Amino acid sequence: MLAFALRRLVQAIGVMLVVSLISFVLFRFVGDPVNQLVGVDTSPEERAALREALGLNDPVLVQFARFIGKAVQFDFGISYQFKQSVAGLIGQRLPATLELSFVSALFALLVGVPMGVYTGLYRDTWLARAFLAVSLIGVSLPTFLIGILLIFVVSVNLGWLPSFGRGETVRVFGSWTTGLVTASGLQSLILPSITLGLFQMTLIMRLVRGEMLEVLRTDYIKFARARGLSRRAINFGHALKNTLVPVITITGLQIGSIIAFAIITETVFQWPGMGLLFLQAVQSVDIPIMAAYLLLIAFLFVLINFLVDLLYVAVDPRIRIGEATR
Amino acid sequence: MTARPMRVTAGVAVRAAFVAALVAGAAGAAAAQEGDKTLRFAFQGTLNALDPYSLNETFTLGMLGNVYEGLTKRDKDLTIIPGLAESWEVVDPLTWRFKLREGVTFANGNAFNADDVVFSADRVRAENSDLKTRLPADAEFVKVDDHTVEVKLKTPNPILHYEWDTWYIMDKEWAEANDMVDPVSARDTSPRPAAFTANGTGPFMIDSHEPGVKTVFKPSESWWGTPEHNLDTVEFTPIAADGTRVAALLAGDVDLIDPVPVQDIPRIEANPDTEALTGPELRVIHLGFNQFDDVLETSDVEGENPFRDPNVRKAFYQAIDIEAIKQRVMRDLSTPVPLLIANELFEGSGQFERWPYDPEAAKQLLGDAGYPDGFTVGMDCPNDRYVNDEAICQAVVSMLARIGVTVNLNAQPKAQYFAKVLAPGGYDTDFFLLGWTPGSFDSWNVITNLAGCRDETGKGGPFNLGGYCNEEVDALAARIVEETDTDKRNAMIGEAFEIMTSETSHIPLHQQSLVWGKRSNVDIVQRPDNQVLFYWATVN
């Protein structure tokens, strides 16, 4: 078990190194950071001096080694644009992204599971068909379009909810701010959460529906019926419970993508989280922020996969022996 | 089984909380509307460090202009008016004397005096400042008494104070106490917390500042002037996405947005509570030609550079139907110009006219130059920098196709575009679109930056991407910069523009328009330099 964990840890570090190296190579094609840092009147000599001072003339590998050397000490440098420490900036923006991701995941589960159960149980009703049609929209429409549509219908035409931002936030501890305890904060969460969680919701719904259809055909459900258990007990106590294992797995894995895909939702709703910070950084070629963000996302995916692997090993002894198949 | 009822309860609780929040929020919003006057403003870019010497950019300097003040200010029509200097006189061509306003205090309560001016003059010319060009490097600032400063020049300079409305005066004691003696720069290796606070003499103070998220301004009680605004609070939020910004205005979540995409103007006008505010901007959009290299890399013409022939350049000029660009691409929100400077900024601009649109004449000129069947050339264009920049380039491409010239368009985001076409990219462009606003609002800036002879590194004319060069224009520029007689100076500027026009050094296109969107109950002055100044705003 320990050997397995250690081996996975080494692999994880390797993956993160490769991700940051690739991102460093790509930064060369994003544009010239210096041009975004100075006004038009700044002379070419001064621009060249600034480029030299920022170390942008060094070979990619040298820049990369410098970045990694500092990153292992949790020093991600100072943002070119914001002139604040990158670690501090990400720390300020992280709560917004995590809250949004958490509420989206909650929305996806709380709405997706019941809809999945319903469409699984009552396949031919018009409501089930309507749910399926909605889910088709969730899968096929791009996130930014859903976001803009929601803004124009709910905020502009109906005037029910705020069109952008996070509303009023309260500082909880350190740099952690929350919008979960204020009225405007909760209102502001609704549209972005729906936008971000819609895809996951439809995924979960279709997954639950498929699993339900499968499980309802199995022998033990038939036995349960034969024993004369109530429909309710069969559907929820036996059928749904057995569908939840894959749902939990998928949800866990999707949390990584929710956080990563928050970039688009955050841009559409001007949600002040990490994704918006990253997009602003790309537009202004703010290399320290881009490098730190990509490393963080890589870490997140690696961490989730690592945990899932460990869980599998704990749950299913058959996976434990990777060597056996080798 | 025990989990089920609990989950249901949690779901109900969440829904109940949302409903409660909706009701409470609606009540809160109503209360806020009655009481204080708040202006909620959204712009496409962010406000980062608040050090007024860190970034020479209109938006940042405009926002800081609500908090800081210069020795001079510019009025609603851009005329120069007294700011922190009550008056000034030119004692002799090399000596200017400024009488400072008395009884002015900074936000922290410190008194404003001559020491602060001398300090600010040193600081703005320090190594990390991005506003070095505001003052001549060799000018000497001398404190005569607490409220008099003399500026000793090495060469006469008639436009010494033209850009001083955005050279903001800082408090010497505050800067020294808060590690702000050096301007904040990307070169800094450790963060500078004071760079995110401000201590100015202006009509507003920064109440809170979260870069990229929200900035709150409050009126300053101790301001020396008489407020023309009626605001209690200004909330600034950056909203980068065009659609979201417009939606926020339409939904009533903000009161003022800048800019409005031209295609959204009808929607804003159609809403009874909102309107669009338009006016000419000082920026002039132009096209330029590579005249520097012996051969054009992107062209099929071998052994020579067709753009070195003035006839070819004029042919391109006359092939472009500027009225069509105005009507179709700019939806009438542009002002075609004959020069590289805005009509408002040069008195003599009325004597100039554009070369007429005439595709036949253009074909003739191309033939005369030895290219009767045209040629191929590549064009570089930004797609997120100016109003409809890419669409303008596409229109130009199709218009040039009519005279037989095949243009391969390369439109890309500004970060990549500028990295390619400016000095660090080796001025790697043969035909390009660029916009220019002279920071000093003066023609000399245009002539030297866009048309001064340059070398490979950009020395001489850093933004002369095409490397146009005429010794006569350079000689005139050298005299213009020192001429103190306005009429003689304007005559020489006219002469330089005459040469540039006759040789078609560039193709001036138009001044684009500013488009702001506002709620109907907001009144604000829209200055053509696109600074957003709250001290001229009222909310009714």
Which tens digits make up the pLDDT trace of B35-90?
589 999 999 888 988 999 988 888 999 999 999 999 999 999 889 999 999 999 99
Q: Is residue A303 less than 8 Å (CB to CB) from chain B?
A: no
Residues A84, B56: C-beta atoms closer than 8 Å? no
Which of A125-139, A244-258, B20-34, B463-477 ranks highest by mean pLDDT? B463-477
pLDDT interval class at B13 (50, 70, 90): very low
Q: List the beta strands (DSSP E) in B185-322.
A: 204-210, 214-219, 233-238, 256-258, 274-289
A 10 A CB-CB count for B79 gives 8
pLDDT interval class at A1 (50, 70, 90): low
The stretch A62-78 carries a mean pLDDT of 86
Q: What is the CATH T-level fold of the domain A87-284, as seen in this structure?
A: MetI-like fold (1.10.3720)
Q: Is residue B22 less than 8 Å (CB to CB) from chain A?
A: yes
Residues B237, A164: C-beta atoms closer than 8 Å? yes
A 10 A CB-CB count for A319 gives 12
B138-176 confidence digits (pLDDT tens)? 999 999 999 999 999 999 988 899 999 999 999 999 999
Residue linked to tokens 């005459």: B498
Residue B413: helix, strand or coil by DSSP? Answer: coil
Instruction: Please say whether the beta carbons of B125 and B44 come within 8 A.
Output: no
Question: A141 or B200: whose pLDDT is higher?
Answer: B200
Tokens of A18: 């490769």
pLDDT interval class at A57 (50, 70, 90): confident
Q: Is residue A178 less than 8 Å (CB to CB) from chain B?
A: no
Tokens of B135: 């003052």
CA-based nearest distance B527→chain A, Å: 20
Cα–Cα distance, B117 to B147 (Å, whole number)? 10
Candidate from A39, A80, A276 with C-beta closest to B56: A39
Q: Is residue B435 less than 8 Å (CB to CB) from chain A?
A: no
Confidence at residue A321, expressed as pLDDT on a 0 to 100 scale = 53
Residue A170: helix, strand or coil by DSSP? Answer: strand
Residue whose C-alpha is closest to residue B286's, from B509, B131, B107: B509
For residue A37, is pLDDT > 60? yes
Residues A31, B418: C-beta atoms closer than 8 Å? yes
Cα–Cα distance, A75 to A91 (Å, whole number)? 13
For residue B502, is pLDDT > 90? yes
- CATH code for the part of the protein at B282-513: 3.10.105.10
The interaxial angle of helices A60-71 and A2-27, nearest 10 deg, is 140
Candidate from B49, B422, B449 with C-beta closest to A35: B422
What does B415-466 look like in DSSP terms, one character per residue? HHHHHHHSGGGTS--SEEEEEE--TTSSHHHHHHHHHS---TT--S-TT-TT
User: Choosing among B12, B33, B48, which should be mutated to test the A contact, i.e. which has the most A CBs within 10 A?
Assistant: B48
For residue A324, is pLDDT > 70? no
Cα–Cα distance, B85 to A156 (Å, whole number)? 47
Q: Is residue A87 less than 8 Å (CB to CB) from chain B?
A: no
Cα–Cα distance, B196 to A35 (Å, whole number)? 22
DSSP state of A154: I
- In B, residues 446-485, which contact A (CB 8 Å cutoff)? 449, 457-459, 462-463
B338-384 confidence digits (pLDDT tens)? 999 999 899 999 999 999 999 999 999 999 999 999 999 999 999 88
CA pseudo-torsion sign B150, B156, B158, B159 = negative
Residues of A in contact with B4 (CB under 8 A): 236
Candidate from A32, A236, A267 with C-beta closest to B415: A32
Lowest mean pLDDT among B31-35, B199-203, B319-323, B371-375: B31-35
DSSP state of B130: S
A96-115 confidence digits (pLDDT tens)? 999 999 999 999 989 998 89
Residues of B in contact with A267 (CB under 8 A): 240-241
pTM recorded for the entire structure = 0.83
Tokens of B188: 């800094």
Residue type, B340: L
Residue whose C-alpha is closest to residue B169's, from B241, B71, B240: B71
Candidate from B186, B190, B415 with C-beta closest to A283: B415
For residue B17, is pLDDT > 70? no
Residues of A in contact with B423 (CB under 8 A): 44, 47-48
Residues B189, A78: C-beta atoms closer than 8 Å? yes
Residues A183, B24: C-beta atoms closer than 8 Å? yes
Q: How many residues does chain A have?
A: 326
Instruction: Please say whether the beta carbons of B344 and B335 come within 8 A.
Output: no
Residue type, B491: A
For residue B18, is pLDDT > 60? no
Confidence at residue A282, expressed as pLDDT on a 0 to 100 scale = 87
Cα–Cα distance, B451 to A12 (Å, whole number)? 55
CA pseudo-torsion sign B364, B366, B367, B368 = positive
Confidence at residue B11, expressed as pLDDT on a 0 to 100 scale = 42
Cα–Cα distance, A264 to A196 (Å, whole number)? 9
Candidate from B56, B195, B413 with C-beta closest to A38: B56
Residues B186, A50: C-beta atoms closer than 8 Å? yes
- CATH code for the part of the protein at B3-255+521-539: 3.40.190.10
What backbone torsions phi and psi does residue A163 show, to the nearest 5 degrees?
-85, -20
For residue A46, is pLDDT > 60? yes
Candidate from B22, B240, B425 with C-beta closest to A270: B240
Candidate from B188, B248, B458 with C-beta closest to A163: B248
Q: Is residue B28 less than 8 Å (CB to CB) from chain A?
A: yes
3-state helix, strand, coil in chain B (%, to 5): 35, 20, 45
For residue B435, is pLDDT > 50? yes
| Domain positions in chain B | 3-255+521-539, 282-513
For residue B12, is pLDDT > 60? no
Q: What's the CA angle centered on A80, arms A77 and A82, to 5 degrees?
A: 95
Residue whose C-alpha is closest to residue A23's, from A300, A276, A257, A297: A297
User: Choosing among B19, B185, B267, B420, which should be mutated to test the A contact, i.e. which has the most A CBs within 10 A?
Assistant: B185
Residue whose C-alpha is closest to residue B198's, from B47, B32, B310, B25: B47
Cα–Cα distance, B201 to B358 (Å, whole number)? 55
Query: Which residue blocks in B146-231 are alpha helix, DSSP H?
Result: 172-177
Residues A159, B21: C-beta atoms closer than 8 Å? no
User: Choosing among B128, B135, B244, which should be mutated to test the A contact, i.e. which has the most A CBs within 10 A?
Assistant: B244
Helix (H) or strand (E) holding B378: strand B376-382
Residue whose C-alpha is closest to residue B171's, from B119, B128, B222, B214: B119
